[in-house]
């Protein structure tokens, strides 16, 4: 994946318009690595998925990121500027961002013993996020979404010889499971420290790689289609022919027609 394929990325953007966010992330990965199946990407942990998305972002739009967030103290708007390396956590050997030679192995189950409870679980994947999306309504709270993920990802829960439903686990045990999940899959939960210029307080800002990249692709796709429209209107060329032009040639023709 030395450069992002324009046609494939536009197709993924179009298909993702009516899709939930987890599916949009899979569509972007499929456009960047057509040799990898959607099922293989869906089996990756959220952190592994986001590591791949960061590679897509770096190769398609560069390593410097600019984002807007809201101060958790005063509500003022913050502008954050950082590099991909600032939000990338160490990953096991896997996808090479330049060549796409393979996938990291899906993370296996893990176990936690806490307060007399034994819990065997796996980390969430895109399949789990899609399942929660299907069951969640507009009024579903963050706590309810969190509980739904726990119920999907807990493989076995026991207290002594008694088998329990995941929903029966006490809050402190659920916290221990989630803490272990975060340790196993750190890329899934990345926070940036930012100082608000309005109130001079430091706040932690969650960085959502999938949402960030989709927003950038959305803006890029709209700009690209507007460029195609202007060139097609001026020269009568077909969209596939215009998209095959290098960015340099496309810029030349846009300037030639007053773009």
Give average pLDDT by consecutive 10-residue segment, the chain, 259 residues: 79 96 96 90 95 92 90 86 90 47 80 96 96 80 90 96 95 96 94 87 90 96 96 96 93 89
Is 52 in contact with 95 (CB distance < 8 Å)?
yes
Instruction: Name 183's Cβ contacts closer than 8 Å, sequence gap at least 6.
Output: none
User: What was the pLDDT predicted at 97?
Assistant: 44
User: What was the pLDDT predicted at 109?
Assistant: 93
156 forms bridges with which residues in the sheet? 120
User: What was the pLDDT predicted at 136?
Assistant: 75
User: What was the pLDDT predicted at 142?
Assistant: 83
Is 94 in contact with 107 (CB distance < 8 Å)?
no
Instruction: Name 199's Cβ contacts closer than 8 Å, sequence gap at least 6.
Output: 71, 73, 74, 76
Instruction: Name the CA dihedral angle for 47, 53, 55, 58, rounded to a multiple of 10 degrees.
Output: -130
| Interatomic CA distance for residues 253 and 178, integer angstroms | 53
| Interatomic CA distance for residues 165 and 146, integer angstroms | 15
Measure the N-to-C terminal CA separation of the chain; round to a whole number of Å. Answer: 30
Boundaries of every domain in the chain: 6-105+191-219, 110-184, 224-256
Two structure tokens written together for 203 = 């706040």
Q: Model-level pTM greater than 0.85?
A: yes
User: What was the pLDDT predicted at 259?
Assistant: 55
């Amino acid at each position: 994946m030395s450069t992002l394929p324009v046609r494939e990325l536009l197709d993924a953007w179009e298909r993702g318009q009516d899709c939930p966010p987890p599916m949009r992330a899979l569509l972007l990965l499929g456009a960047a690595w057509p040799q990898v199946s959607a099922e293989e990407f869906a089996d990756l942990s959220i952190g592994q998925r986001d590591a791949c998305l960061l590679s897509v972002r770096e190769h398609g739009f560069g390593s410097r990121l600019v984002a807007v967030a809201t101060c958790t103290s005063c509500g003022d708007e913050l502008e954050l500027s950082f590099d991909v390396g600032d939000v990338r956590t160490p990953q096991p050997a896997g996808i090479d961002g330049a060549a796409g030679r393979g996938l990291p192995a899906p993370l296996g189950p893990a176990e936690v013993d806490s307060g007399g409870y034994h819990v065997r679980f796996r980390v969430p994947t895109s399949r789990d996020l899609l399942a929660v999306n299907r069951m969640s309504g507009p009024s579903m709270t963050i706590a309810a979404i969190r509980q739904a993920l726990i119920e999907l990802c807990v493989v076995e829960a026991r207290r002594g010889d008694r088998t329990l439903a995941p929903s029966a686990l006490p809050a402190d045990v659920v916290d221990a499971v989630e803490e272990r999940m975060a340790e196993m899959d750190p890329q899934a939960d990345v926070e940036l420290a930012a100082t608000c210029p309005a109130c001079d307080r430091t706040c932690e800002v969650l960085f959502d790689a999938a949402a960030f990249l989709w927003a950038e692709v959305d803006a890029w796709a709209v700009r690209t289609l507007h460029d195609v429209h202007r060139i097609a209107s001026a020269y009568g060329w077909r969209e596939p022919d215009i998209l095959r032009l290098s960015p340099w040639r496309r810029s030349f023709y846009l300037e030639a027609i007053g773009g």
